[in-house]
Amino acid sequence: MVKELGIDEAVALIEKQFKIEDSFIDDFIREHIAPWVPQNVLTRCRSLLVHIHQWNYNKEEIEQWLDRFETIGEEQSEWFYPAEYPSGEPLHSDLFIDTLGELAYYRWASDLEVNEGLKLLGGEYAVHGYKNLEGLRSRTYKKNRLTRLIIKTICALLNQNTNEEPAAEKIISGLSYHDDPSNRIIEEIDGEVIAWIDDSGKGNETALSTLPSKISRLKKDIKSKKVICGIA
């Protein structure tokens, strides 16, 4: 009798079949998907990444396309449809946007405070992608402490110089300065990770390599008024 594979086993088999390096998927998940997401969401993320990898996109290109996806509907949208995938296959627009949209949704939800993120992802999560981005963002979901500190730092730097958008490096270096000395968020920033305390008092570590992309999205949200300085 043939043993029926579980979902995790099936995804692992597909990864092996297409000879996808573990680091490709693991690096993306470590950098963009919160460790508290439900297992079914984590498995789904891996499945989406396997699919995207078959189109011959690398991690950096995926991140760029996710960033572009989040500009859909904005006046200065960076979105466009390429004629074909890097693999040379003709691009199927519905499949392309649904796949990117779902992955963008999980990345966005991972930026939320743990309880709010779990509330979103634990129910009937959006298998059809991140098509309701504007509606979701308009709700008052509570961002995690690190994200709130990044927003506070961006806003402070913008107030200091309204003619120049602060670079990611300057924002990262300013986090400790703009932290609350009576209730610190930042524990330590070294060459690779930032150690910080969440709302429950639990310690967390975030790879510094993930912050430029996150900061870029937050600056766009501030510019478009999706995030209001002082109400983060």
Express each pLDDT in 92-140 by its tens digit: 989 999 999 999 999 988 888 776 777 788 754 433 333 344 444 444 4
Whether residue 75 contacts residue 225, with contact meaning beta carbons closer than 8 Å, is answered with no
Whether residue 121 contacts residue 41, with contact meaning beta carbons closer than 8 Å, is answered with yes
Task: Please give the average per-residue pLDDT across 40-54, as a whole number.
Answer: 88
Is the whole model's pTM more than 0.75, yes or no? no
- Residue 200 pLDDT class (50, 70, 90 cuts): confident
- Residue 9 pLDDT class (50, 70, 90 cuts): low
Distances, alpha carbon 77 to alpha carbons 70, 85, 131, 146, 210, in Å: 9, 21, 15, 27, 23
- Residue 11 pLDDT class (50, 70, 90 cuts): low
Whether residue 144 contacts residue 111, with contact meaning beta carbons closer than 8 Å, is answered with yes
| pLDDT-wise least confident of 45-49, 58-62, 115-119 | 115-119
Mean pLDDT over all residues of the chain? 78
Residue 143 reports pLDDT greater than 80: no
Task: Please give the average per-residue pLDDT across 149-169, as a whole number.
Answer: 84
Angle among Cα 167, 171, 176 to the nearest 5 degrees reads 160
